[in-house]
Amino acid sequence: MTRYIFAISFLFLFTISNAQEKKRARDYSIEIGVMARGNLNAITDVPGVKVGHQTLVKGENIRTGVTAILPHSGNIFQDKVPAAIYIGNGFGKLAGISQVQELGNLETPIILTNTLSVPMGIQGTVKYTLALEGNENVQSVNAVVGETNDGYLNDIRGMHVSESDVITAIENARTGIVPEGNVGAGTGTVAFGFKGGIGTSSRKLPESLGGYTVGVLVQTNFGGVLTINGAPVGKELEQYPFANAIKKSDGSCMIVVLTDAPLDARQLERVAKRAMMGLAKTGGTASNGSGDYVIAASTAESMRIPYQTREKFDTGDVLRNDHMSSIFMATIEATEEAIINSLFMAETTNGREGHTIQKLPMEKVLPILKKYGVIK
């Protein structure tokens, strides 16, 4: 009986220990910014938004995947959404950027994957789109596919992502809780010298400011001096670029910002620019070798752009510029927290050629956060 009780107690403590290993920023009472979070504190707090992952972990060398973000549940090609893309630093391979900049709309799910799998991202997204009911006569599809380079942990040259993986990620997309950390396109990424990954967060504006929701999802794979809500964590841990002549700070970050506020492409570019301010608050430096892109879109039904219509004029009411500042602030806060969540939810990973990237050492981070008054 004693042995049985001990086993149950050990199992209980082990379960609690594991649960404590993966907590988001808010679970540690870290209050990033001043605005209210959405119910799930995720990009899926924006009504209708879905996220899907396809995670590829095989053998010792494959650590990669695909993440798909759908701005609404319908046929996105037939009901396009206003969109904009902002380049923080252009060392990247973002597909589909020119048409978004030219026409100001998005007509496919947003796909994130690794650098050398962008072609498969395009192919899978195009095949998925052409197969949708109503698209039988479509002959041109502008797939938007972003990437970061996971080649330290993943056999990126093997190009293991297939078009079926991309389609699976899209078809698996769901509303609700978004898995974070080592999943999908974040499976093999590294951020601030620690294991990075997928992270998400949201902000809900008060009704007096429109009641809109801003949701952010990030794929973190970049460097800098990690700062958590103002605390110089990277400096305290002595984990930062140029601490010696070898350690550098290259890498990339993909940021997706969705909102149900009725914004046009011009306004969405303004929103996208603010997301880079959220990245900067975490200590990111947009270094020379970093591809830092922000894709922003409005999911408001009144702003949808039909593929075929006889109407000559757009009829949606657009939010006035004077009412944009609260959305800017929400974007900055949600981006900052999404990046921190990607680190908090990631796990130590072994990968290509025996490389290992450690998760953020919370046993060291928490005392630093207490020292600087971030948590009690």
Q: Would you please indicate which residues are annotated as catalytic (active-site) residues? A: 252, 290, 292
- The tokens 């769901």 sit on which residue? 174
Ranges of beta strands (E only) in the chain are 50-58, 62-70, 79-90, 105-106, 110-114, 144-148, 190-191, 194-195, 198-204, 213-221, 252-259, 291-298, 305-306, 349-350, 356-357
In angstroms, the CA 123 to CA 119 distance is 6
Tell me the DSSP string of 202-232.
EEE--GGGT--EEEEEEEEE--B---BTTB-
Structure-token match 């290509």, residue found: 352
Residue matched to tokens 């880079």 = 276
Residue 80 DSSP class: E
Unique residue bearing structure tokens 């988001």 = 24
d(CA 100, CA 92): 16
Tokens 């998925």 sit at which residue? 128
Return the DSSP state at 250. -
How would you classify the pairing of strands 62-70 and 110-114? antiparallel
